[in-house]
Amino acid sequence: GNSVTQMEGPVTLSEEAFLTINCTYTATGYPSLFWYVQYPGEGLQLLLKATKADDKGSNKGFEATYRKETTSFHLEKGSVQVSDSAVYFCALKASSNDYKLSFGAGTTVTVRA
């Protein structure tokens, strides 16, 4: 079946540090990949996405590249801020005909001033 595995947290960083959250996936076809972010007390919101191999999604200084050869979609940000403290979810949409997302367990990130 289709599934997503992301690194366990929590992750605690200082401001301006480099952030990486690993995400790998298992899928039978050609999935689309997403990163969602959940700020404290809020619902999830889309951070970035990539729909085919070698695509790079980017938003708010975050980037992730769809690597089919390693079945990965790692999230990176070069210099985090306190406002980046949130829970980050990697997610997979199995195919263009599918409309459900499979989510990873989430990674809690705390950025200290």
Partner 1 sequence: NAGVTQTPKFRILKIGQSMTLQCAQDMNHNYMYWYRQDPGMGLKLIYYSVGAGITDKGEVPNGYNVSRSTTEDFPLRLELAAPSQTSVYFCASSFPGTGTGELFFGEGSRLTVL
Q: Rule CB under 8 A: which residues touch partner 1?
A: 4, 8, 32, 34, 41-46, 49, 51, 89, 93, 96, 99-101, 103-106
If you ran DSSP here, which 8-state letter would residue 71 be given? Answer: T
- CB nearer to partner 1: give 78 or 108: 108
Q: Which helix (H) or strand (E) holds 20?
A: strand 19-21
Identity of the residue, 14 or 96, whose beta carbon is nearer to partner 1 in the bound complex: 96
- Which one, 19 or 88, has the nearer CB to partner 1? 88
Is residue 51 within 8 A of residue 95, CB to CB? The reply is no
**Residue 111: CB minimum distance to partner 1, A:** 21
Question: Could you give the strand order of the β-sheet that contains 19-21, starting from the edge strand earlier in sequence?
Answer: 19-21, 75-77, 62-65, 56-59
Name the token pair of 21.
Answer: 């959250």
CB 94 to partner 1: min, Å? 10
3-state SS class at 83: helix
Cβ proximity to partner 1: between 77 and 93 the closer is 93
